[in-house]
Every structure is written in structure tokens, then in C-alpha cells.
């Protein structure tokens, strides 16, 4: 089978695969090795691929690579027997499209490339019109003029620039003209087609690597960034809590984290969309969390406006929040809660629970929910316009409790008539305590409980006092905090008469001491502190002291007093007749001039009910009874001093002794 090709004067014979005379034969259309079936003349060594031989090449074309004149199809270049393609400066022989007026040659393969005009390419990066080529079939072997990397994929090509060639990756041609970058966050960086001109022997980064491509530059700061740094040297991380990827900054630098507001001196992560620079640990900060310091879900924010929050005071540490950096705030309308990121994510504040996106947060506090109540109303009465429960069933008592106004107990108490051996009274507020409630003292929820240790009492982890009433306890694994009811009624702020400023709850008070009792505070202790640089702190025990006390020889209430201007000779307690320390708090009656130590006025066991039993306490085989000695005060079995006020009494005949609470731990030695 033969064909007559317009480019050759002999008929061309069909040649089966591997019957070409020359093993190095090239197709004179595409100049690629002849493999497989072809048409050719072995005598003249003229060969065409089967596909190339059947190409319908137009004798004249108008091509975007040379828009000035039409190009004419020739079987070979009219110059010196070979041509140099003006698209890609390479010598070749064979078919070409030629412009005789301009001495312009275009190889057939390049002439077949599909291209379109890139009309919107910025003139600041290149003065000539660029052509977009979706698929160049690996015909372009040069490097990208922007990033200096080998050309691949779709490209932009300038047909006017013959040497040096101007070709761009599609990604490099579509780069933003300005970017924000962490090294120079004061000004945007502008894209330039080449590095700025610097003096000879310049030691800057770009001169040292002899960079010739595009750069992002800030002329005000003399900072330049190569595309190699911007595009190829920065691994990225994607996290669910942020909508954009985080790019690792490849150079070590000093910075301030935009999330937590603290300094950093390592390689940060950068969000180019949000213009944020953060620590590695901060990129995984959750978007929504809940803490016991606030009843709503709080959300991470890094772009607050002045009118979004009225009070810029952190509600945890009570120092000002710098809104240039991240914070957690309450998104609920009319709720202006805001806190530092570091304060919110402190292990003592947050238990690590992340709230899901779109979480339907509680609009009311948990204590208001019916399922969270500890009592059932049996009967109600009307008092004025209010309906009040007159009889209730309490979960921690076998019988119903009735509301009483007898005056034998405090106002509005519930009394049980079914207990014959001892009366069961509970204040109305205590009867309506919720089953579960959060508290700023601790990061987990507390559950109401009436259980105690093997002795029949419990020590409060907040104030340190022993009690026998209800308590709130944390049942989380490896967490055994429990607080008495008095401490659970405290909030995260306190206005105390001992200090002119408001006091705020602070965790981790190690290194400080209580300004009332001078006890050194530990890291586990919570305390109330003044944020006005007064160096004033109160532990929970001192903050919860009753403001009044009683003395058997005084008909007036004694007032909690915080300083004493008396003569040193007057620093004595009128009950125990021992010396008082001048800087310690005390109870005082101004009318009768009576002064008492704190424990002498309120007792060592203010929250133990008189008559209650302590079983097997301190290894003693008989139960102790909680008593209060007023007139005939027996001596202490351990120290020998008089037991004023509350004490423990063993009434078994062969023992029959009384002991101070503080001396009871040494009771075993007293019987040796």
C-alpha cells in the first residue's frame, strides 16, 4: 500500500513494525523515533508515523504564537537546511510552519498546541501578552520564570520573549499580587517579577541563593520572600477547629501567638487567610467548650470588635483581655462573658471536654431543671400570692417532711414527725438543693450526697472543716473532691468586709498566704484574691467564717473583727484567757469589750450537730458524742486544759472522758 504525501516527491510505502532500515529513523513531522507502523522510503530514509502521515495540515494558518502574519507549511526550513523553532529555541529538520517576512519558524508539534489569550494577566509582572496552554504534551522543557522549577502541567507562555523564555506554571501565574506573611505582618508583601536591586556583595538571603524568579517583597522593611519559600517549603496541617489550613513557617522566629497571646520563639504555624500566627499546640484549640465558671458554652474568638463585649476583664483571672489576640467568649446575646485562652484551658478550670459544633446549649442553669431536684412536692399551701410546698418527700429521708414556722428551728424549716428517737430538721433552702450542680471551685460537676466516711463525718476540701450534713462530691475517676453546703453557696466573686475591694476566686495559689490566718497556700488550694495589687488573699476557710459569734458571758453578738488598735496588754481572749496574736482576726463585742479567738467564739466543730455520734474515731473502740461545754467544763484527756465549747465525749463508764477535737489525734498516746 502506497500514499503520495505532499511533502515528498516519491510515493511512500506502508512499512510494518520493525522493518525500518535505520534503527535511529525519526519521523520528519514530529521528529520522534519511528516505532510501529509507518510510511516511508527506505532508499531515501524518509519516514512518517502512520498518524503523522495522515495529518490534515493546512497549507497556511494564523497562529497565536505569531499573530502578525500567517504561517506557511513547508517540508523543511528555507534556512541552511534546518530550522530553529521560535517557540522553543531548538534545532530541528522536517516540516515547519514558516513566516518568510519575519524569519519565523514553528515546529509542527508546537503549531498543533491549543492555546488561548490570557487577557487578565497583570502587566506589572510581564509586559507582553501571555498565552494559556492547557496541555503542551511535554513540548516545553524550560523552567518556570516564577518559581524556577521545571515546567509541567498547564502553562502560560509569552511568544514575544525568545531568550530568555518566559513560561509560568498555571499556579505561579495565578498567585495573589499581595499576601500577608508572618515575618512582616505590619505590611502586605507585593509580588514582583524579579528581586529588588541591592548593592554588590549583598549578603541577603535571595542574593546568597542567587534567586532569579518572582519574589514577594516589602520595600519598607527590605524583606523579600522567594516563591520557593512561599509555595514549596511549608508543610500544612488541617484541623477540624479551623476552616483554613495551617502552614508551618520554615524559619525560627520570635512572635506573639494570636490565639493565647503569649510569646513564642520557635517555628510557628500561619493561616494566610485569617492572617494568624500561632503556637503548634494552639492550632488544635477547640472551638467550643464548657466550663463550670459559666453556664453557657463559650467559643474561641480571634476577631472581636470594640462593641461586641462591654467589659474586657477576664472573668477568671480578672485582668484585662487584649482583644488583638484570641479569647473565649460567650456567644449568647446579652451575655458578656470573656476569658483569656490560657485561663480558660487551665487544667484546674477546664476538664478537657469539647462541645460539638451546633450544640444546643442549655438556656437555663441545670439547677432549674425538674429532673435535677432532690425533693417531690406532696402538698402545697398559698402564702399571699405564692404557692409554697408545705409537705415534701426528700430522697435522703424515709418520711415526708412538713414545713414548720414553730420558731424552735430557723425560719422556714422542714420537720419530720416520723422520727421518734431524734428530730430531723432541714432548712427550706437545703431541702431544695439540686442533685447535680457545677461550681467554680472545681472543673467537674458535683453530685449531692449524704454519705460520710467510716467515722460518720467528712472534711470539706475547700474550707478544711469537719461536717456531718449534706455534701457535694465529684465522682469522676481519680477525683475525690467534696465540699460542704456552706462552701457550695460561695461564688467566684466575694465582697468581704475585711477588704475594701472585691475579691475573686483564683486557682493555684502556691507561693501565697492567707491574709487572715497567714497559712501558706498550696497549688491545690483555691482562694479569693484582690486584683488591685493589694496583695490580699483569703483562703476559703477564712472567707466563709460567720460574721457574728456568741459568748456565754455576753448578751450581745460578737462581731468578726479584722484589726485591733488596743494596747498590747489587751491582746487576750476573754474565754480561754490566752494571748491573742495582734494581727489575727478575732470576735469582739464593743459594748462589753469582750474579745475571743475565732475558735473560742464559733468552736472547733461548728458544722457537727450536737449529740451526733462518731464511730471508731482515732482508733477508740467506743463512740464519741459531740458535746458543747458551757459552764462545768471538764479537762481534756490529752492536754489537761479546760474543754470550752465543742468537744468529743466518751460516756462509757470505765472511760468517761472529754477531749478537744485538735487533741483527739493524740488520744492513743494518752492511754499508753
DSSP string, 298-309: EEEES---TTT-
Q: What is the 3-state secondary structure (H, E, C) of 163-197?
A: CCCCEEEHHHHCCCCEECCHHHCCCCEEEECCCCC
Residue 371, Cβ density class (10 Å: 0-12 exposed, 13-18 middle, ≥19 buried): exposed
| Spatial CB neighbours of 441, under 8 Å, sequence gap ≥ 6 | 462, 481, 483, 487, 490, 505, 526, 540
- Cα–Cα–Cα angle for 636, 642, 643, nearest 5°? 70
448-452, long-range: CB < 8 A, 24+ apart? 448/374, 448/472, 449/473, 449/482, 450/396
pLDDT at res. 232: 59
Domain boundaries, the chain: 60-112, 178-199+206-232, 237-279, 286-345, 493-544, 612-666
Residue 373 to residue 390: CA distance in whole angstroms? 16
Residue 663 to residue 643: CA distance in whole angstroms? 11
Cis check for the bond before 164: say yes or no (omega within 30 of 0): yes
Residue 75 to residue 58: CA distance in whole angstroms? 13
**Residue of 6, 107, 120 whose CA lies nearest to 66:** 107
Of the chain, the end-to-end C-alpha distance in Å amounts to 127
Helix segments in 352-495, DSSP class H = 428-431, 485-488
The secondary structure element, H or E, covering residue 599 is helix 598-602
| Spatial CB neighbours of 158, under 8 Å, sequence gap ≥ 6 | 126, 128, 129, 130, 131, 165, 166, 167
> Rg for the chain (alpha carbons), in Å?
44
Residue 414 to residue 406: CA distance in whole angstroms? 10
Residue 140's alpha-carbon distances to 89, 134, 153, 506, 594, in angstroms, are 10, 12, 10, 68, 103
pLDDT at res. 422: 42
Residue 489 cell numbers, joined: 453557696
Please state whether the predicted TM-score (pTM) of the whole model is above 0.85.
Answer: no
pLDDT at res. 406: 56
Residue 530 to residue 496: CA distance in whole angstroms? 11
Strands (E), 521-644: 527-530, 537-539, 548-549, 558-561, 586-589, 594-596, 613-614, 624-629
Residue 102 to residue 105: CA distance in whole angstroms? 9
Q: In this structure, what DSSP letter does residue 232 have?
A: I
Residue 337 cell numbers, joined: 462573658
**Residue of 483, 515, 481 whose CA lies nearest to 496:** 515
Residue 543 cell numbers, joined: 472567707
In order along the chain (672 residues), what is the average pLDDT of each group of 10 residues?
72 74 72 80 78 77 80 76 67 77 76 73 85 74 82 82 81 86 72 77 59 83 73 71 80 80 80 82 88 89 62 85 89 85 90 78 50 77 81 81 64 48 63 86 89 77 87 86 89 93 88 92 89 89 92 89 86 89 92 91 85 80 86 87 88 84 78 59
Contact present, 464 and 492 (Cβ < 8 Å): no
Residue 92, Cβ density class (10 Å: 0-12 exposed, 13-18 middle, ≥19 buried): buried
Contact present, 317 and 342 (Cβ < 8 Å): no
pLDDT at res. 514: 94
The secondary structure element, H or E, covering residue 523 is none
Q: How many CA atoms lie within 13 A of 284 on its CB side?
A: 4
**Residue of 567, 579, 572 whose CA lies nearest to 595:** 572
Q: In this structure, what DSSP letter does residue 228 have?
A: I
In DSSP terms, which residues pair with 271 in a beta bridge?
A: 276
Amino acid at each position: 500500500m502506497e500514499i503520495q504525501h505532499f511533502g515528498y516527491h516519491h510515493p511512500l510505502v506502508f512499512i510494518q513494525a520493525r522493518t525500518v532500515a535505520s534503527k535511529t529513523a525519526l519521523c520528519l513531522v514530529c521528529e520522534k523515533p519511528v516505532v510501529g507502523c509507518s510510511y516511508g522510503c527506505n532508499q531515501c530514509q524518509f519516514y512518517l508515523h502512520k498518524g503523522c502521515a495522515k495529518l490534515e495540515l493546512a497549507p497556511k494558518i494564523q497562529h497565536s504564537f505569531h499573530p502578525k502574519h500567517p504561517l506557511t507549511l513547508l517540508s523543511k526550513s528555507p534556512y541552511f537546511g534546518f530550522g530553529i523553532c521560535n517557540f522553543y529555541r531548538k534545532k530541528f529538520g522536517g516540516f515547519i510552519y514558516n513566516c518568510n517576512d519575519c524569519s519565523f519558524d514553528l515546529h509542527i508539534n508546537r503549531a498543533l498546541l491549543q492555546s488561548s489569550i490570557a487577557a487578565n494577566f497583570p502587566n506589572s509582572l510581564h509586559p507582553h501578552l501571555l498565552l494559556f496552554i492547557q496541555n503542551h504534551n511535554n513540548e516545553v522543557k524550560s523552567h518556570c520564570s516564577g518559581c524556577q522549577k521545571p515546567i509541567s502541567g498547564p502553562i502560560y507562555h509569552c511568544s514575544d520573549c525568545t531568550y530568555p523564555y518566559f513560561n509560568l506554571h498555571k499556579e505561579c501565574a495565578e498567585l495573589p499580587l499581595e499576601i500577608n506573611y508572618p515575618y512582616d505582618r505590619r505590611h502586605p508583601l507585593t509580588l514582583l517579577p524579579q528581586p529588588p536591586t541591592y548593592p554588590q556583595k549583598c549578603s541577603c538571603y535571595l542574593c546568597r541563593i542567587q534567586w532569579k524568579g518572582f519574589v514577594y517583597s516589602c520595600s519598607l522593611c527590605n524583606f523579600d520572600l522567594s516563591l520557593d519559600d512561599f509555595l514549596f517549603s511549608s508543610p500544612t496541617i488541617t484541623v477540624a477547629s479551623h476552616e483554613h489550613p495551617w502552614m508551618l513557617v520554615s524559619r525560627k522566629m520570635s512572635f506573639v501567638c494570636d490565639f493565647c497571646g503569649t510569646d513564642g520563639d520557635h517555628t510557628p504555624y500561619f493561616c494566610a487567610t485569617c492572617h494568624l500566627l500561632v503556637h503548634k499546640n494552639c492550632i488544635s484549640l477547640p472551638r467550643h467548650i464548657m466550663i463550670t465558671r459559666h453556664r453557657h458554652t463559650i467559643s474561641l474568638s480571634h476577631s472581636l470588635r470594640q462593641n461586641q463585649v462591654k467589659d474586657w476583664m477576664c472573668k477568671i483571672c480578672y485582668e484585662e483581655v487584649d482583644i488583638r489576640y484570641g479569647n473565649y467568649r460567650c456567644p449568647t446575646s446579652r451575655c458578656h462573658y470573656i476569658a483569656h485562652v490560657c485561663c480558660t484551658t487551665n487544667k484546674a478550670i477546664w476538664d478537657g471536654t469539647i462541645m460539638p459544633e451546633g450544640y444546643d446549649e442549655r438556656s437555663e442553669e441545670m439547677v432549674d431543671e425538674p429532673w435535677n431536684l432532690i425533693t417531690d412536692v406532696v402538698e402545697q399551701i398559698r402564702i399571699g400570692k405564692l404557692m409554697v410546698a408545705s409537705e415534701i418527700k426528700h430522697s435522703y429521708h424515709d418520711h415526708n417532711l412538713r414545713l414548720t414556722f414553730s420558731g424552735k428551728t430557723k425560719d422556714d424549716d422542714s420537720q419530720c414527725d416520723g422520727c421518734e428517737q431524734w428530730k430531723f430538721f432541714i432548712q427550706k433552702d437545703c431541702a431544695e438543693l439540686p442533685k447535680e450542680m457545677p461550681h467554680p471551685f472545681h472543673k467537674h460537676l458535683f453530685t449531692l450526697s449524704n454519705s460520710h466516711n467510716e467515722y460518720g463525718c467528712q472534711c470539706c476540701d475547700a474550707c478544711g472543716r469537719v461536717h456531718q450534713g449534706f455534701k457535694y462530691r465529684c465522682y469522676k475517676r481519680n477525683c475525690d473532691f467534696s465540699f460542704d453546703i456552706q462552701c457550695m453557696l460561695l461564688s467566684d466573686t466575694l465582697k468581704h468586709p475585711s477588704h475594701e475591694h472585691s475579691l475573686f476566686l483564683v486557682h493555684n495559689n502556691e507561693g501565697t498566704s492567707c491574709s487572715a490566718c497567714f497559712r501558706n497556700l498550696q497549688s491545690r488550694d483555691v482562694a479569693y484574691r484582690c486584683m488591685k495589687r493589694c496583695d490580699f488573699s483569703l483562703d476559703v476557710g477564712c472567707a466563709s467564717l460567720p460574721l457574728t459569734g456568741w459568748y456565754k458571758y455576753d448578751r450581745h453578738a460578737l462581731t468578726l473583727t479584722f484589726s485591733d488598735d488596743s494596747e498590747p496588754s489587751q491582746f487576750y481572749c476573754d474565754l480561754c484567757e490566752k494571748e491573742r496574736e495582734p494581727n489575727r482576726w478575732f470576735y469582739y463585742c464593743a459594748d462589753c469589750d469582750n474579745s475571743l479567738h475565732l475558735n473560742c467564739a464559733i468552736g472547733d466543730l461548728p458544722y457537727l450537730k450536737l449529740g451526733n455520734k462518731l464511730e471508731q474515731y482515732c482508733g477508740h473502740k467506743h463512740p464519741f458524742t459531740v458535746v458543747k461545754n458551757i459552764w462545768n467544763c471538764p479537762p481534756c484527756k490529752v492536754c489537761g486544759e479546760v474543754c470550752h465549747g465543742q468537744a468529743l465525749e466518751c460516756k462509757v463508764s470505765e472511760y468517761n472522758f472529754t477531749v478537744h477535737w485538735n487533741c483527739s489525734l493524740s488520744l492513743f498516746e494518752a492511754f499508753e
